[in-house]
Structure 1
Amino acid sequence: MIDGHMHLEYGELNKEYVLQFVDEAVKKKLTRIQILDHTHRFKEFEPIYAKLKEEPLQKEWLENKKMKFKDTLDDYDRLIREVKEMDLPIDVSFGLEVCYVPEYEDYIRNVLKKYHYDFIVGAIHSIDGKLYDMTFSKEILWDKYDVNDIYKRYYELVFSLVKSDIFTQLAHPDTIKMFNYYPDYDLVPTYHKLADLLVEHHVKAENNTGCYYRYNHKDIGLCDELLKILKEHGVEMITASDAHQPSHVGTNIIDIYEKTM
């Protein structure tokens, strides 16, 4: 079994912390894990968050220097080299989860071309400068804008992300549902378009359990309709926990693995 998305976010960039993820993966009988971190950890990516900083609550969140923009990609690169020299009991690969911001597409591409990662995950976490997945998101986004418009813009951004050809993997494709806001239009045509683009651009889609165990959403991973459509189109998929601490590695992967793969 594979867990294709887990974060070092709450720990240091050292081998000892990585081995906690490896040990938990072995306990959960996983055969492969993909370790990454958000771009908001790394100093090189701070410019792409400029628009988010225009909103006071988001600015405060991003100015937590214990968590944000505290390390460099060279620091991460050194860790990757050290871990890859070790004899580990399972396959471990490394990448990044990049917050895709269309205005900074060229900037992102230029930063990434200086490094070699096993995979690059693209993620949409904000709608034109407003985060949709934070405790304060209801105040700054969901209560201020039309839900239909938010969904339409979210999937426009996802389509642009896939078409950029920067990424090998799409993070949590339908995580916009996490707080149980839904549009009143049919998402099926959107799902078919997404599936076509993922196949055309050779991007994997995650079946990610994070919304289920981290935010108590009813879906254990992708909604049934989207999962069905992705499979119909032959989209390559990967199971993922979105673990942000070692104990969460592999959470609910066994529940979705067979129907995903």
Structure 2
Amino acid sequence: MIDGHMHLENGPLTVDYVMEFVNAGVKAGMDTIQILDHTHRFIEFAPMYDALKEASNEQKEWFEKKKLEPLSTYHELISQVKAMNLPIEVRFGLEVCYAPKDKALIKEVLSKYPYDFVIGSIHSIDALLYDMNSFSREILWDKYDTNTIYQRYYEIMEDMICSDLFTQIGHPDQLKLFHYEPTYDLIPTYQRLAKLAKEHDVYMENNTGIHYRYGHEDMGTNPVFLDILKSNGVKIMTASDAHKPEDVGKLIKEIS
């Protein structure tokens, strides 16, 4: 079994902290774990977040609390861990907060290091974060039309898949997290995304974080979308989206 998405975000970039995730993976019965961090942790990607800081004071305050580090620190950690004899396979990558305007920067930075995998994820709709419990309802969901938000989200996702910058697409239906639902039929969108994912040979995540982190009733990707992906032969990556070691492998057995 594989847990294909877990974060070092809440701890240091050290071997000791990585080993907490490795040991948790062993305990959870994982054969492989994929460790990453958000691009907002790293100095090289900082220009991607300027628009978000300008879009709202809440976002500016949130981002300015983050301590930025150089990617070289992460790369050094990866080299140290890869030299170790570990009980399970450990892969390293990044979760890129994707926006179409940033394609050139993303391509340039990613080209400088051979990651084992790279996840493209959408966390904002035209510079407004949609998944923050503390303020996303105020700045986005209660301010703009739900259908328009969904349409734009999946438009960005199509662009992200077609960019060929990523090996994996993160939490592809996470817009549902606060139970704002569109009034139009999403099945044609799901079918189009499935065809693109197959054509561009990317994994689509079945991510349990939506369930245990946000309390949504779906254990992972919604069954309709997941069935369409599978019926089109799209590769599925099981993922916990763990942000702390104790969540590694969470519900992976149940969705596998």
TM-score, scaled relative to structure 2? 0.98
* TM-superposed deviation, 1:147: 0.2
User: 1:65 offset after TM fit, Å?
Assistant: 3.2
RMSD of aligned Cα (Å)? 0.6
- 1:97 partner letter: E
State the AA in 2 paired with 1:189: P
What SS does the aligned partner of 2:60 have? helix
Unaligned runs of 5+ in 1: none
Are 1:35 and 2:38 matched, yes or no?
no
> Residue 219 of structure 2 corresponds to which residue in structure 1?
220
Summarize deviations over 1:146-199 as a string: whole Å, max 9, x none.
Answer: 000000000000000000000000000000111111100000000000000001
Correspondence for 1:112: 110
Unpaired runs of 5+ in structure 2? none
2-structure distance, mates of 1:7, 1:72: 17
Look up the SS of the partner of 2:241 in the other structure.
Answer: coil
Partner amino acid for 1:3? D
In the alignment, the residues of structure 2 paired with residue 90 and residue 65 of structure 1 have an alpha-carbon distance, to the nearest angstrom, of 31
Aligned to 2:51: 51
Name 2:235's counterpart in structure 1: 236
User: Which residue is equivalent to 1:91?
Assistant: 89
State the secondary structure of the residue aligned to 2:213: helix
Letter of the 2:202 counterpart: V
For the 8 Å contact 2:167–2:201, the answer to whether it is kept is: yes
Matching residue's letter, 2:40? H
1:45 alignment partner, SS class: helix
Q: Which runs of 4+ in 1 moved over 4 A?
A: none
- State the secondary structure of the residue aligned to 1:51: helix
How far is the alpha carbon of 1:104 from its aligned partner?
Answer: 1.1
Q: For 1:66-105, what aligned pairs fall within 5 Å after superposition?
A: 66=67, 70-105=68-103
Deviation digits for residues 17-38 of structure 1 (CA, Å, limit 9, x no counterpart):
0000000110111100000000
Amino acid at match of 1:129: A
Q: Deviations over 1:233-252 (max 9, x none)?
A: 00001100000000000011
CA positional deviation for 1:50:
1.1
Letter in 2 for 1:49: Y
Corresponding residue for 1:159? Answer: 158
Deviations 1:96-119 (A, max 9, x none): 000011111011100110111000
What is the percentage of aligned positions where both structures have the same residue?
58
Q: Deviations over 1:39-97 (max 9, x none)?
A: 0000110100111011110000000034xxx2111100000000000000000000000
